Amino acid sequence: MKKTTQKSPISGGPRNLVLAVLIVVGSLFVLTKLTDYARQVKTLSYSSLLKHIENNNVKSVHVSGQHVDGILKNNEHFESIIAYNPSFWDTLKQHEVEFSVSAPSNTWYFSFIGILFLLLLLMAWYTVRQLRNVGGGSGSGSNGLFSMGKSKAKLFMPSTVKVTFKDVAGAVEAKEDLHDLVDFLKHPEKYQRLGAKITRGVLLIGEPGNGKTLLARAVAGEANCPFFSISGSDFIEVFVGVGAARVRDLFAQARKHAPSIIFIDEIDAVGRHRGSGLGGGHDEREQTLNQLLTEMDGFQTGDSSVIVLAATNRPDVLDKALLRPGRFDRHVFVPYPDLTSREQILRVHAKNIKLDPEVDLLKIARGTPGFSGADLANLINEAAINASKNNQSLVTMQDLDISRDKAILGKENKTMRQTPEDLKITAFHEAGHALIRLLMPEDSDPLYKVTIVPRGRALGVTHWLPEREKYHQSKDELIGNIMAALGGRAAEELVFNKITTGAGSDFQHATKIAHDMVCSYGMSDLGPIIYNPNQQSFDYSSQTASLIDQEVRKLLTSCYEKVTIMLRENRDKLDTLALKLLEKETLYAQEIYELLNLEPRVDHSILS
């Protein structure tokens, strides 16, 4: 049942505050009028007052500035406003009217001060009401003024946490490391009988989207214990001391529900190096961090057990005291998924998607190196959206290809209109890339598809897919990648006898590979030496820098010459491929093998 709370009419916001002020002012005005009515005071104009005086109807008057209060001879009270006129006093004397004089009244001044005071009281009351609502979402459910120090962590009881390690695809090593914690929470006596102490602080390190939060929930689901989840930024407040109070309250709640798990997401928001900033906000963060350090250093009470999991993608900014033994001394790395893990993740997210039987998720996994788990989930969802827009009954391989291309290159540019000459240059450029890739040795990555459909800033793209996860590359393979990158410019120059700006990104890619070969991999005549200008310990002279430039230039020039020779010797295949691209816009590897009468590459995948 949803809990309802009564709200004060003053706590509804600034609109209600203004309404309350208007009610108060209106009430004062009405009271003033009622008082005047109760006194039965008659209001006379200045001319009427003079007539009454001249007719000897006035008994006495009291003058205060321009305001006159008086009594007629029939004992009726009156009031009037007079103009400045020195003869008025002579008129009173002539008709024997008793009069008295006093300084002008400050009634309106005091009324204004009173109203202002009431406004200040109402504003103070409104502010207090707002402060009392701060912290209303805490675990205790209190709305009091001091509930700001209550923890904002969300408590998940064991019955509500359904995630287990079976629901986490990939991350095999991370799950193995976390299994020790689960075993300790389930069977603490197994460790206590030998005097072993399990690690109480575990830091999950990995890039965003790789499943750190999912792993933390899986630990709670496996251990079947209460799970407190909070973000590091939830501790920090504008008021100094609130963050430390929230840390104390969080650990107090965790002890009450022990054995339990505390998960702090984005801990770098509160755990940064102390002394790295200025100002009150920084003081608040440091106090919060100090309290966290204190709570983690021996927070076991009796037989209760509390384990703290934290996640970050910036371990380099964390305070050293937070990482020392006894706190977060176990680091679990959650890397980008490898090929096997990517396929498993795709299958998990495609479980509820109606896929065409021809869909090959392994091929999609091979074409998504560097994708995080969140990226792969988005890829499947985008493919389903595309199929739905086209009123398809199933999600096809083409939908997945479009989704992947959109994630890597951007959305297809349908408004771009190229001239026939531009399209021809683009077709021969991409055909040059593809043909060189096909003519490369067996250890290079095989061709997947070629397209001249513009996406993002690219007028065309040549895709190749790694057959397996690679952890090292040979010199021949790197040279092959350089040659494939230079194939587009070489084809332009060979066919059109001119060069364009379309090869800029290709040159950038090729130059980086060549520079790494010379400076980082020792694959040049300069020998097995590291030349890294970004590290002070590897500084080198200008003469060495000149030699490096020469080696890079020699490597690129040699590759370009080889590519030109290969394309000239296979000019018929280049023309055939380019003309077919102009006709169909997109060609897959199998179509190209049949078109050029080439033997398909042998699949060296370890998963085949």
Least confident of 44-58, 120-134, 258-272: 120-134
At residue 77, φ and ψ (nearest 5 deg) are -85, 145
In angstroms, the CA 241 to CA 287 distance is 7
Query: Is-contact 232 275, C-beta < 8 A?
Result: no
Residue 507 has pLDDT above 80, yes or no: yes
- Mean of pLDDT values over 166-181: 85
Query: Is-contact 134 234, C-beta < 8 A?
Result: no
pLDDT of residue 490: 94
Chain segment 56-73, per-residue pLDDT in tens = 888 888 887 777 888 888
Residue 170 has pLDDT above 90, yes or no: no
Residue 511 has pLDDT above 90, yes or no: yes
How many percent of the chain have pLDDT more than 70?
A: 81
Residue with tokens 């037989």: 303
Peptide bond into 259 cis (omega under 30): yes
Token code pair at residue 387: 């199929």
- Cα-Cα-Cα-Cα dihedral of 24, 26, 32, 35, to 10°? -90
Chain segment 179-188, per-residue pLDDT in tens = 888 888 788 7
Token code pair at residue 63: 């003058």
Chain segment 386-436, per-residue pLDDT in tens = 999 989 999 999 899 888 888 877 777 777 778 888 899 999 999 999 999
In angstroms, the CA 82 to CA 71 distance is 16
pLDDT of residue 34: 56
Looking at 222, 266, 430, 551, which residue is catalytic?
430
Least confident of 348-362, 502-516, 536-550: 536-550
Chain segment 228-282, per-residue pLDDT in tens = 888 888 777 655 667 788 888 888 888 888 888 889 888 888 888 877 654 444 5
Sign of CA dihedral 176, 181, 182, 188: positive
pLDDT of residue 54: 82
- Mean of pLDDT values over 425-453: 86
Beta bridge partners of 377: none
- Other residues' Cβ atoms within 10 Å of the Cβ of residue 357: 5
Least confident of 117-126, 339-348, 403-412, 450-459: 117-126
pLDDT of residue 280: 43
pLDDT of residue 304: 55
pLDDT of residue 142: 43
Residue 174 has pLDDT above 60, yes or no: yes
pLDDT-derived band at 483, boundaries 50, 70, 90 = very high
Rounded to 10 deg, the angle between the 475-496 and 571-584 helix axes is 80
Q: Please give the helix or strand (H or E) that residue 443 lies within, else none.
A: none
Please identify, in words, the CATH class of the domain defined by 420-596: mainly alpha
561 is catalytic: no
pLDDT of residue 603: 60
- Mean of pLDDT values over 145-171: 74
In angstroms, the CA 280 to CA 447 distance is 58
Residue 226 has pLDDT above 60, yes or no: yes
Least confident of 146-155, 248-257, 406-415, 451-460: 146-155
pLDDT of residue 148: 56
**Which is nearest to 454 in space by CA: 487, 422, 416?**
416
pLDDT-derived band at 15, boundaries 50, 70, 90 = low
**Which is nearest to 59 in space by CA: 46, 78, 44?**
78
pLDDT-derived band at 8, boundaries 50, 70, 90 = very low
CATH number of 344-409: 1.10.8.60
Three-class secondary structure of residue 155 per DSSP: strand
CATH number of 150-333: 3.40.50.300
pLDDT of residue 90: 77
**Domain ranges across the chain:** 150-333, 344-409, 420-596
How many percent of the chain have pLDDT more than 90?
A: 18
Mean pLDDT of the chain: 79
Give the residue, 442 or 195, on which the prediction is more confident.
Answer: 195
In angstroms, the CA 138 to CA 148 distance is 8
pLDDT of residue 605: 54
Is 0.75 topped by the overall pTM?
Answer: no
Cα distances (Å, whole numbers) of residue 395 to 145, 169, 391, 587: 55, 22, 10, 20
pLDDT of residue 128: 66
pLDDT of residue 222: 86
Query: Is-contact 330 202, C-beta < 8 A?
Result: yes
Residue 145 has pLDDT above 50, yes or no: no
Query: Is-contact 219 182, C-beta < 8 A?
Result: yes
Sign of CA dihedral 552, 554, 557, 561: negative
